[in-house]
Every structure is written in C-alpha cells, then in structure tokens.
Amino acid sequence: MPHKVAIMQHLDELTDECRDVGACNTIFVRDHPDGGRRLFCGANTDVIGVRESFVQNIASPASVYENRPAMVIGGGGAARSAVYALHKWLKATDIYLVNRDRVEVDAVVAECTARGYGASLMHVATVEQAEALEAPGAIVACVPDFAPRTGAEVEARRITEVMLRKGERETKGAMLEMCYNPSPYTALGALAEAEGWQVILGTEALIWQGIEQDKYWTGLAACELPVKQIKETIAAKLAQVSKL
C-alpha cells in the first residue's frame, strides 16, 4: 500500500487473479526453470480475503447477497479486488461504484472492461441516482476511516447513507469494512450497523488474505497452517480494542 498497481510492471510473473484485478498485494519468489535466476512473482490475495470474509461469516448467502446488486466504496487497488471477488465468486448482478474521484472510477471501469468483467459496473455519482437504484446485498468499503471533508467526499458519504437506508431491516445485507487500522471499528461500520446491516470487520479479510499469502510463501496448504491460533490471536486483540 499504496503501490499495488505500480509494482506490477517490475515483476516477472503474475497469477491469474493478480493479472485480472490489475493490482498486486503479495510478492513471492520462484526459481527460473533454467536455474539461472530467481523470478519475482506477483499475486493478489485481497480477492481471497474479500471472498472468504463473506463465505465464512454469512450463514445464508442466497438470502443475503447472492443474485443481488453489490456496492464498492473506493477506487484503489482494494476496490479492484472487491469488484473481482463480487463478480467471480459472490454472484453479484450489478456492482455500484461510489467514490469521491470520478477519474479513479473511470479507470476501474476501463480496466475491468478490458479484462472482461466490467459490463456490470455502474458509477453512482449522485444522491438522486442512488435513490432510484435497487438496494445492494453486499457492500465492500475500501476507504480510510476519515470524516468526509471535501464536497466530493461529502457527496460520496451521502450516497452511501442512501444505500444503507434502503429496504426493511430484515432484508438488509452485509458490509465488509476493509479498514482495520488504527481500529476496525469505524464510523462507516457503526452507521451500517445502526441501519441493520451485518458488518464484517476488516480483520476478517486480513486473516484470510494472510493465510493465502502464507500458502505462497511456505508452500503449505491452509489445513497445515495454524488457522485456529491466528483467529484466536486476532479475536483477543479485538477484545482489547473494544474495551478501549
């Protein structure tokens, strides 16, 4: 962070997810087949973190987010990963993009379209536009936990608030709040929870993308890694943060 896009041109090989997303968050080394040098390879495990955050925490995907629109807040590398995961694995129909910077959104749409999965993307730029749309079932927030200051930031937050208020409480979906630093308990997450959404903390994405990284770095399968201990350690840290 924030070099997930810029690093790619310096790598020798990319995984399919890394290439399709257009962002790299993991570098690993492999030996060249001829034995002459090492290859620096790029992967994207953020997509796994997004996918598993929903899969591991939502008991009934079919009634919460599958075959419904989804929404991504942000326009950087994490947002690209969220779009990919929502499209490829989480059965999103349309994917709404909400961001303070139209240029960033245009870049995401153009890149996803070039890679074959941009047709369902829709930039939601105004409150009026948001009010006319179907409620999303899954939201992935990929922005820092800062209060909106500029006019564009205020408008993006108002659009998000419109989306969070849509529908009855029993039909609300799930929101993955990717921000976990300095705390996973964000203002946006609190807003979503107050409106009846199930909020998945960003530490969940951190856990599952980290396990995927360890698979690249160690060569071990997930079942060989200390997943239980990882989750218990994170839970203990979250308990401390919550008390503070």
Average pLDDT, the chain: 95
244 pLDDT band, cuts 50/70/90, is low
Whether this model's pTM surpasses 0.85: yes
Q: Calculate mean pLDDT across residues 186-201.
A: 97
For range 166-189, the mean pLDDT: 94
Q: Strands (DSSP E) along 115-221, which ranges?
A: 121-123, 138-141, 174-177, 198-201
Encode pLDDT of 219-240 as tens digits.
999 999 999 999 999 999 998 8
Give the chain's length: 244
Q: Quote the pLDDT of residue 5.
A: 84
46-71 average pLDDT score: 97
With cut-offs at 50, 70 and 90, classify the pLDDT of residue 35.
confident
Mean pLDDT on 86-113: 96
The amino acid that residue 180 corresponds to is Y
**pLDDT of 129 higher than 80:** yes
pLDDT, position 78: 87
pLDDT tier at 76 (50, 70, 90 boundaries)?
A: confident
Q: Calculate ∠ Cα 139-97-11, nearest 5°.
A: 95
Q: How many alpha carbons fall within 13 Å on the CB side of residue 42?
A: 22
Please compute the mean of the pLDDT values over residues 115-136 and round it to a whole number: 97
Return the CATH number of the domain spanning residue range 48-203. 3.40.50.720
Are residues 61 and 55 in contact, defined by beta-carbon separation less than 8 angstroms? yes
